[in-house]
Amino acid sequence: MFIDISNLKKSYTTGVVKTEVLKGIGMKLDKGEIGVILGPSGSGKSTLMNIIGGIDRGDSGRIIVDGVEINNLKDDKMTDYRRGDIGFVFQFYNLVPNLTVGENIEVVSNISKSPLNIDEVLAAVEMKDKKGRFPRELSGGEQQRVSIARAIVKNPKLLLCDEPTGALDFVTSRAILQLLQQVNKKYGTTILMITHNAAIAAMANRVFKVRSGEIVEAAVNQVIVPAERIEW
């Protein structure tokens, strides 16, 4: 298993109130698979993803990614892991506003060990002709394409997407999902994606339903639906 998590727990304390956000999560995902995490707001999805991506740490439990127990990594090794192995795509793109499309991707490529070619990645997301534009000169869908290009240019082992279509209309969302499926095929990138939209689960190999910090259902899809055929 590429991702193998067992009994992951995480609490946050604000003032004197301690909230258990993850209550013993277990999940597995194979290399090259697409996993979808579904669940209501506040159920712990982003917390779980941030821990898998090395942005945050669990309090206890085992989190193995590609054979490495990441929860025990020292801070500098955790930074290497996050920078080297993980690509992130967020709902609101998070592009650097005063850098062009090409430069946004270049800053990541420059600090990567074995980056993909910038023009190849831009071509893959169909944004090569807009390389010199600034984020404010792009639509939301185009900005998300750039943020996917930025996430994959480092050739990450794992692409983590937190509501990647949350701010987009139906047609644009579906195009972004198609793009993620293409990235998965072309580069063999393992993808874990959070969504509120149950219809999106059809394109995944595995679907994890989260409620109040627990996985209440883990399903394996026998048939993977191409993103272009998903409707909602």
Residues that bind ligand ATP in the complex, under the rule CB under 6 A: 12, 14, 21, 39, 41-47
Close Cβ partners of 121 (under 8 Å, ≥ 6 residues apart): 105, 149, 152, 153
CB of 227 to ligand ATP, least distance (A): 21
The interface partner of residue 39, options being ligand ATP, Mg ion, none and the CB cut-off 5 to 8 Å by kind, is ligand ATP
CB of 48 to ligand ATP, least distance (A): 7
CB of 41 to ligand ATP, least distance (A): 3
Q: Which is nearer to Mg ion, 121 or 207 (CB)?
A: 207
Strands 206-211 and 214-220, sheet pairing = antiparallel
Q: Which is nearer to Mg ion, 39 or 156 (CB)?
A: 39
The interface partner of residue 114, options being Mg ion, ligand ATP, none and the CB cut-off 5 to 8 Å by kind, is none
List C-alpha distances in Å: 73 to 39, 68, 158.
29, 9, 17
Q: Which is nearer to ligand ATP, 41 or 222 (CB)?
A: 41
Dist. CA 194–CA 39, nearest whole Å: 8
The answer to whether the CB of 160 falls within 8 A of the CB of 87 is yes
Q: Which is nearer to ligand ATP, 14 or 110 (CB)?
A: 14
The interface partner of residue 44, options being ligand ATP, Mg ion, none and the CB cut-off 5 to 8 Å by kind, is ligand ATP
Q: Residue holding tokens 């998965």?
A: 184
Q: Which two tokens stand for residue 53?
A: 């991506």
The interface partner of residue 131, options being Mg ion, ligand ATP, none and the CB cut-off 5 to 8 Å by kind, is none
Q: Which is nearer to ligand ATP, 116 or 199 (CB)?
A: 199
The residue ranges that bind Mg ion (CB under 5 A) are 46
Query: Residue 131 is which amino acid?
Result: K
SS3 194: strand
The interface partner of residue 43, options being Mg ion, ligand ATP, none and the CB cut-off 5 to 8 Å by kind, is ligand ATP
Strand ranges across the sheet with 60-65 = 17-29, 3-14, 60-65, 68-69
